[in-house]
Structure 1
Amino acid sequence: MTKRTKKVGIVGKYGTRYGTSLWKMVKKIEISQHAKYTCSFCGRTKMKRRAVGIWHCGSCRKTVAGGAWCLLSGRMEHSKLNIPEPRI
């Protein structure tokens, strides 16, 4: 099949509706939503979104809770930086 959307990409399904500023924001969200992420358990890039906030690794079959559109939201990444690692 030929490529039908040059600029808009994944948000081409909305056609001429809603305006450019909105589809630019939606494009950023939908690209991160459909991307595959690295699993923190097995290290493979197999973590996919199943539903809002539910992420599943196809390799090790672990299911974890995460952000709504991307695996780690901005607050989650920030809080992980502030948690000290346990001393052994």
Structure 2
Amino acid sequence: MRRSGALFYVALTRASRGVFLLANAREPSRYIRELSEIAGNDLRFETIDGELLRQCPACRAGHLVERTGPANRRFLGCSQFPNCEQTAPLK
């Protein structure tokens, strides 16, 4: 782990109640991906306004967004497409 990664880890482990991280949704850093894997269900994605986003269960760095496919079929797809091709039915 490089020095910046080590400092990032130390800062996160010192938080007593929680941590808020701002990330670019189109290009999340590798740290966001790694933290997502470690945190599992204890992590939640939100918009800047606090609206809950559904985390992608496959890549864990993206979130599921509504999309329209062939024949105007609507479904949920990962925001990291084409790097992640996770889909789910729209309920």
TM-score bracket for the superposition, by shorter chain length: under 0.3
TM-score normalised to structure 2 length: 0.24
**Which protein is richer in helix relative to its size?**
1
Structure number with greater Rg is 1
TM-score (norm 1): 0.24
